[in-house]
Amino acid sequence: MPGIRLIAGLGNPGPRYQDTRHNVGARWVQHLAARHDATLREERRFKGETGRARILGRDLWLLLPTTFMNLSGESVGALARFYRIEPSEILVAYDEVAFDAGMVRLKTGGGANGHNGVKSIIDHLGGNRDFHRLRIGVGRPGDASRMTGYLTGTTMPGGEREAVELALDFGETELTDLLDGQMQKFMNAVHQPTKQSTQDEGS
């Protein structure tokens, strides 16, 4: 399987949404950029903030779409076409309400499962679904009618944010496998009980 050449973190633009649950994918990419000294700059032709990054010896692009979530594909598709990046070389990080905060799962291909950002990316990749998805759990409200406010209207509570950050703090071996396209090895390492749960059981 080919390695990753583009990592896109989904979210809504602007300070109003920065710390909401819907922006956990964007925050992870911002963290990667800061950790590996990559500078992200606004690129109008790509409708996003983007920059080259060298992570563990691998060269790739990082992308933060500056469209709203449901138009994310306009950004991802534009950059992928310009640099001739195949869908199988793309990793998209985004929020997943099917999982509790602190649970991270990797998936390759498949449908959008109701996520409008993912749906937009599929559409703008010509219907190709072969990109990889880093699904970051954020939980769900008790009442489905509160979903929009839950994802975009409130700041993510500190405990949930810490659980997510811990789950996304991949070791060098895990991150190397991910970037090299060794998805099964990455999943074997990451699809385990959360680090926090393991720590709690041992305390």
Note the helical H segments in the chain: 24-35, 72-82, 116-124, 147-152, 158-167, 172-179, 183-190, 195-202
134 bridge partner residues: 93, 106
Provide the 10 A C-beta neighbour count for residue 77: 22
- How far apart, in whole angstroms, are the C-alpha atoms of residue 181 and residue 73? 22
- How far apart, in whole angstroms, are the C-alpha atoms of residue 27 and residue 63? 11
User: How many residues appear in the chain?
Assistant: 203
Residue with tokens 């992200």: 40
User: Which structure tokens are listed for 187?
Assistant: 């999943």
Of residues 22, 115, 124, 132, which has the active-site annotation? 22
User: Which structure tokens are listed for 34?
Assistant: 């800061």
Could you confirm whether 132 is annotated as catalytic?
no
**Which residue numbers are catalytic?**
22
